């Protein structure tokens, strides 16, 4: 199943292969560093942290590329669990907002187990970003969690509050459509991946507003009304959750 119309099949499969080889090589190197081997001049702790960060970046891109290229939900889910584990030693809110937003959103869409979800909650507790959207997603599993009216990135994510707090389903669906077609991608122009397909199609791994899918699912909106919209992870809702 082809999930977007931008990627070139040969290129994205080459990217996936390269990412998996690189992750494997860096994982082997990480094991050596943890055992005390160090041929570099930098402290081994610094090198370990740097390698862990590289692994997490490659794991993120590989996970997204696998989804974009049309691999099965089960394969995507396998990569997602690896991605969550890759975040545990390196995540900080000041540089990893998107990473946490994607991890929580995808976790909700895949209905992951509490243990995995709470690994992410633990990271948020440790380095609290005080963010409305992250709080909203955590509260979906932990009702006692308080939602703070603050956004780390008001553009584009501030608009999601209108969707979340709209009680009329039809109006909420209309707002979600507006977010997907006019707000989300346009509001991400400061991201390093913005317009990547124009600059370097070889490294393109997909553009996805996973938080849109998670909001749609949590609010019980009619996801079929959103089928075909750009950036919307339609099949993660249709195949992986409460609508099944």
Spatial CA neighbour of 20 closest among 88, 90, 75: 75
Residues 6+ away with beta carbon under 8 Å from 51: 26, 29, 30, 33
Spatial CA neighbour of 123 closest among 79, 80, 93, 153: 93
Domain shared by 239 and 146, yes or no? yes
Mean pLDDT of successive 10-residue stretches along the chain, which has 244 residues: 92 97 95 84 88 96 97 96 97 90 97 97 93 97 96 95 97 98 96 96 97 98 95 90 39
Count of Cβ atoms closer than 10 Å to residue 61 Cβ: 22
Question: Angle between the 97-110 and 210-219 helix axes, to the nearest 10 degrees?
Answer: 40
Domain shared by 244 and 123, yes or no? yes
**Looking at residue 209, what is its pLDDT?**
98
pTM of the model: 0.94
Residues 6+ away with beta carbon under 8 Å from 190: none
* Residue 120, token pair as written in the block: 């992410």
Domain shared by 152 and 38, yes or no? no
**In-domain check, residue 100:** no
**Looking at residue 41, what is its pLDDT?**
75
Domain shared by 128 and 205, yes or no? yes
**Looking at residue 74, what is its pLDDT?**
95
**Looking at residue 242, what is its pLDDT?**
39
Alpha helices per DSSP H over 72-178: 73-87, 97-110, 114-126, 132-139, 154-157, 160-165, 169-178
Query: Phi first, then psi: what are they for 36, rounded to 5°?
Result: 105, -5
User: Is residue 163 a contact partner of residue 215, using CB atoms and an 8 Å limit?
Assistant: yes
Domain shared by 171 and 228, yes or no? yes
**Looking at residue 244, what is its pLDDT?**
34
Domain that holds residue 163: 117-244
Query: Phi first, then psi: what are they for 99, rounded to 5°?
Result: -60, -45
**In-domain check, residue 112:** no
- Look up tokens 């990547």; give the residue: 196
Domain shared by 68 and 121, yes or no? no
- What burial class does residue 55 get, using C-beta atoms within 10 Å of its C-beta: 0-12 exposed, 13-18 middle, 19+ buried? buried
**Which H or E run includes 130?**
none
Quick one: DSSP state of residue 226? G
Domain shared by 235 and 127, yes or no? yes
**Looking at residue 36, what is its pLDDT?**
82
């Amino acid at each position: 199943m082809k999930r977007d119309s931008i990627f070139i099949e040969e290129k994205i499969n080459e990217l996936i292969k390269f990412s998996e080889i690189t992750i494997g090589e860096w994982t082997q190197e990480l094991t050596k560093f943890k055992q005390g081997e160090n041929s570099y001049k930098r402290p081994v702790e610094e090198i370990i942290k740097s390698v862990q960060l590289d692994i997490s970046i490659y794991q993120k891109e590989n996970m997204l590329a696998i989804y974009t290229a049309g691999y099965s939900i089960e394969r995507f889910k396998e990569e997602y669990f690896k991605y969550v584990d890759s975040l545990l030693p390196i995540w900080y809110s000041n540089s990893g907002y998107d990473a946490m937003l994607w991890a929580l959103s995808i976790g909700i869409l895949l209905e992951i187990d509490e243990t995995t979800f709470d690994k992410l909650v633990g990271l948020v507790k440790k380095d609290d970003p005080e963010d409305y959207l992250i709080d909203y997603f955590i509260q979906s599993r932990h009702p006692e969690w308080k939602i703070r009216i603050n956004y780390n990135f008001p553009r584009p994510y501030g608009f999601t509050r209108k969707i979340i707090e709209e009680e009329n389903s039809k109006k909420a669906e209309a707002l979600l459509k507006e977010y997907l077609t006019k707000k989300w991608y346009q509001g991400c122009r400061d991201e390093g991946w913005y317009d990547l397909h124009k600059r370097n199609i070889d490294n393109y791994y997909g553009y996805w507003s996973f938080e849109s899918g998670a909001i749609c699912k949590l609010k019980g909106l009619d996801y079929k009304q959103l089928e075909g919209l750009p950036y919307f992870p339609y099949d993660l809702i249709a195949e992986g959750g409460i609508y099944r």
